[in-house]
Chain A
Amino acid sequence: MTDATSEFFERISKPSARPPLGTVTGTVRIDLDRGKATEHYLLTIDKGNISVSSENVKADATMHTDKALFDKLARGEANAMASVLRGLIAGEGDPKLLVLIQRLFPGPPNARTARTTATQEARPA
C-alpha cells in the first residue's frame, strides 16, 4: 500500500527548476501523531530548496497534526487552512512559513481548470 505522507516528503525534496517556495529560507518541523508515537519531519528550506530529515529539533515553525489527516492533505483530499480553522492542525512559530508550506499540498484530485469548464460548458465543440 502506498503511503501518501512518505510520497509527499519524497516529492517535495526533489530539486525543481521552479521551486514552489521561491527564495524562502527557514526550517519547519512537522509532527505527526500515529497512535501513541509521534513522527517528526524537519524541512530545511534553503532558498526554496527543501531537504527533509527526521530530526526532532527546534524549528522556525512547527505544525502538529495526526498522520491520517496529513495523508489526506498529501493527497489533496483535505485543505490545510480549513483544517487549521477547525482545530485539526496546531501551528506555532513564524506564521508566514506556515502559510507558505501549505503551497506544497496538491489540489483536490478531481479539480478542473476554469478553462476546461468554459470550453466544455459554454462552447460545446
Chain B
Amino acid sequence: MSNDLVNVLDGNTFVVSDTRGDIEASPTDTTGLFSYDTRFLSEWVLTIDGKRLNPLSMDDLQYFETRFFLVPGTGTIYVNATLSVIRQRAVGLGFHEELTILNHDDKPVDISVRIDAGSDFADLFEIKDAKGKKGKYYHRIDKQHLLLGYERETFRRETSISSTAPAQFDEDGISFSLHIEPHSDWTTDLDVVTALLGWGETHAKPKYGREVRKARPDMHTSLETWLEAAPSVVTDWEPLRATYRRSLIDLAALRFSPPVSGGGSLPAAGLPWFMTIFGRDSILTSLQALPFAPELAATTIRSLAAWQGSRVDDFREEDPGRIVHELRYGETAAFEEQPHSPYYGNADATPLFVVLMDEYERWSGDTKLVQEHELEARAALAWIDEYADLQDNGYVSYQRRNEETGLENQCWKDSWDSISYRDGRLGAYPLATCELQGYAYDAKVRGARLARTVWKDPAYADQLDKQAADLKRRFNRDFWVADGQYYALALDGDGGQVDGLSSNIGHLLWSGIVDKSKAKAVAKHLMGPRLFSGWGVRTLAEGEGRFNPIGYHTGAVWPFDNSFIAWGLRRYGFKVEAARIAAGILDAADFFKGRLPEAFAGYERAFTAYPVEYPTACSPQAWSTGTPLLLLRTMLGLEPIGEHLVVDPALPNAIGHLALLDIPGRWGTIDAFGRGRVIVDAKPRLRPQLSDGPTGR
C-alpha cells in the first residue's frame, strides 16, 4: 500500500483515504470505506466553493481515529487562508466524521460546502480485477439522509449518510450553504452507516438512527486497558522497548470480533485487507502472543471450533473436522464465485488447532475450554488420519479439489513455486510438505496429553502416543536427505523426496519430530551461510535452483518463520543459535521502526547493511506483529511446567538485562529476568545493533 494513503479501522471496517481525508476510488483503486469485505463508499470528496482543500497536517490519533487539518486553496500556495477546516474521523459501524470550519477573518463569510458521495459496492475480490457489477444501484433521499444501495437478486448492501446540521441531500452528495460570523466556527457531525441486509434482517429496511447505533467507536478505553494488561518489558536495549510497544498497539488494531466469538477478540491476519478469520494466521499469532495476551488464543479456539468443517464439500474443500482457512462476507462469497463461505483449503490449521489448545491450557490452566471443545479436538485429530492422508502412506498431504478458485499450495508457503527440488523443478501433487508431518506429530502428542489429563481417556491417549511415535520413526526415515543431512521439503505424488533445503526444517524442531541424533545437523544448516542471512533464516537456501533473495517463498526472510525456528532451536537446547536469530530479527525490527514487515529480502546482511523490505499489501501483518513477542519468550526461555513457569534466559550479548514483568498464567502473574551472555557474530554496522557482539557490559 502506498505511503501517502491513510488508514483507520475498527474490526473489519476500515477507511483508506488520501491525506486530505478524501476518497476518490477508481474500479481498481483501493481507497474507500470498507466493511464486511465490501466497499461502502468509493467517493467522499470535500470542497468549499467548488474547490478542493489542501492538507496542512494530519494526526493519527488512534488506529481507529484520524484528524485532518485543511485549508482552502489550490496548488501549493495558500493565499491568505482565512478559513481552516478540521475533519476528525473515527471508524466503527461505518464512520463518524466531525467537520469543523473556522473563520479567522474579522468579516463574516458566506460559503458553500459540498461533499460528493458515492459507492460502487465493490467486493474486495473484485477491486484488483475491476469486474463489472451484475446487480443494480439505487438511492433514496429525504430531509435527513442520503441512502446509497446495491441490489443483486436478494443480496443488498446499503450506505446511509446523515448530518446533524441542516443540509441539502441529492443523489450525489450533501451540500451546506453557510454563513459564518467573524472569528467563529461551524460544525456538523456526519454519520456514514453501513448495512448488510438479510444478515439478521431480510425483509425490513435498515432502521438507521434507531436500531443501528451511531457510527461511533467504543474502543478508546479498550486500547488503554489492553496496554495496561500486557506484561511490561524492562531492558537497557531501548529499541526492544519501542518494538514491544509497537507490537502491542498493532496487535490491538488487529483484533477482530467475529459474530460467533461472543464478544471476544482474535487476531485477524493483516491490515487492512485480511481483517477476517484465517485459521492458520489466527492460530500462529495466538501462539506467539500466549504469554502476553492469552485471551486471543481462547477466542481463536472458540471461533475456529464453531466453524469447524462437518461435511465433504469440494468447492469449499471442506471435510469433517477440518479447520477453516478463510471466511469472507462479500458478494463473490455470497454468489459462490469465491469459495470463502467459508473456505477450508489448508492442511496445517487442523493439527495446529490442537497444538494451540494444548499450549493454551499449559499456560492458562483453563481446562474448562479444553473440556468444552473435546468433540472438535477429536474431530481435528481424526481428520489427520481419515481425510488428510491422501496417498495412503501415513502422511498429511494436500491436493486441491476446487481447481478453479482453490489454493494450490495449502501450507503457509502458499505461492505456486514454493515447493521445489534442488534443481528447481516443482513437486507434483499431492504434496506432503515436511512441516505438516511435524504439526501432525505435535498434535498427536499434545492431544494425548489432553486426553490423559483433561478428557480422562487413557486408551485414546495411548493410541495417539503410539501413532505419534510411529509417525516420528517413519518420518525420520523417509524425509531424511542423507547426502545433505537435512529433511526434504516434501514428499511428492510418487513418494519421492522434494529435496530443496528450506526454512521448513526449523518448524520441525519446533514440533519435536526431529530425532535427537539429527537435530545438530538441522541447527547447523539453519545457522549456516546458505540459510542464515545475518538477519534471519531464508525461506529457501542460497544455491537451490529456485533461490531468489526477493522470492516470496523462495529466498525472502519471514520474521514469523524465524520466531518459530527460534522456538524450535530452544526446544532442542540450541540457546545460542536461538539468540542469534532473535538478535537478527530484532535488529531488523528496529530498522522498520518496530513494525516488522511480512517478509524482507534474503540478501546477505553485510551486502545491504539494512534489511530490504519486500513489497506487501498488508501492514501490520498479524504474525509479524507477534514475532517480537515470541522472540521475548525464546530469549527468556519461558516454558510452563506444571503449575510453574520455568525461566532459562539466553540473551544476545548487547542486551545487558531484560525483564518481563507480570506474565499472566496459571501461576497468577510472575516476573522473568535475564542478563546478556550470548555473543553473536560482529560485522560492520551502520549503528549499534544487537548483533554487534560484546559491548563491554
Contacts and interface: CB of A to CB of B under 8 A. Distances in A.
B335 A82 contact: yes
Contacts of B154: 86-88
A18 interface: yes
B684 interface: no
A122 B401 CA distance: 12
Contacts, number: 133
B372 to A, nearest CB: 6
A96 B401 contact: no
B155 A86 contact: yes
Given A64-B202, A96-B306, A99-B260, A86 B153 contact: yes
Interface string A82-125: 10111111111001100110011111100111110111011100
B399 to A, nearest CB: 5
Interface string B371-396: 01111100000000001111110000
Contacts of A15: none
Contact of A117 (B330, B336, B399): B399
Contacts of B262: 96
B200 A92 contact: yes
Nearest to B261: A96
A96 B317 contact: no
Given A81-B341, A81-B342, A90 B311 contact: no
B259 A23 contact: no
A82 B333 contact: yes
Interface residues of B, number: 56
A18 B376 CA distance: 11
B493 A107 contact: no
Contacts of A115: 387, 389-390, 392
B198 A88 contact: yes
Given A23-B375, A87-B197, A96-B262, A105 B311 contact: yes
Chain A interface category by residue count: 35 or more
Closest 10 CB pairs of A and B: A87-B198, A107-B311, A22-B375, A85-B334, A118-B390, A95-B259, A103-B310, A90-B202, A87-B154, A111-B312
Contact of B314 (A48, A85, A103, A111): A111
A96 B299 CA distance: 12
Nearest to B428: A122
Given A76-B311, A105-B311, A107-B318, A87 B202 contact: yes
29 contacts: A20-B310, A22-B376, A64-B202, A81-B342, A82-B333, A85-B196, A85-B199, A86-B198, A87-B153, A87-B156, A88-B154, A89-B202, A90-B202, A90-B203, A92-B200, A96-B306, A106-B311, A107-B313, A107-B318, A108-B313, A111-B313, A111-B314, A113-B312, A113-B387, A114-B317, A114-B390, A115-B389, A118-B391, A122-B391
Nearest to A88: B154
A79 interface: yes
A97 B566 CA distance: 40
